[in-house]
Amino acid sequence: MAFWKDRPEDDGVVHASESALRRVADAAVSDVVRALRRAVTDDDRERTRETTLLLTLARHLRADLHEGAWDRLAATERMQLRRALLRLALLAHAQVSVPFA
């Protein structure tokens, strides 16, 4: 008999698979495009500039993924890229200015 606490821990590698990363990358780009559309509609020049930069970054990350550049990375590094894409999507939804260094 196996107890519930004896099951193997989820290391998150399933979230770093190519198919999972493609969905996250596509969703991040879509979120940033929606944010850019909102900024342009609101005539917010600063937010338009910020979201344009976010969109450029998200599209580059997605292009690298589609070209297979992420396949050569270890699962932990792909998980970091996944977190970066999720953060881009969060920044797109943020109602505050995005600090670019």
**Number of compact structural domains in the chain:** 1
State the chain's mean pLDDT as an integer: 83
Please give the model's pTM, rounded to 2 decimal places.
0.78
Residue 56 falls within a domain, yes or no? yes
Q: Distance (Å, rounded) from C-alpha 26 to C-alpha 69?
A: 16
Residue 16 and residue 82 in contact, taking contact as beta carbons nearer than 8 Å: yes
Residue 101 falls within a domain, yes or no? no
Q: What integer pLDDT is reported at residue 3 of this predicted model?
A: 61
Residue 64 falls within a domain, yes or no? yes
Residue 62 falls within a domain, yes or no? yes
In angstroms, the Cα distances linking 91 to 44, 49, 96 are 16, 13, 9
13: left (phi over 0), alpha (psi -120 to 50) or beta: alpha
Residue 16 CA, chain-centre distance (Å), reads 12
Owning domain of residue 76: 45-94
Residue 17 falls within a domain, yes or no? no
Q: What integer pLDDT is reported at residue 24 of this predicted model?
A: 92
pLDDT in tens, 27-70: 999 999 999 999 999 998 999 999 999 999 999 999 988 888 88
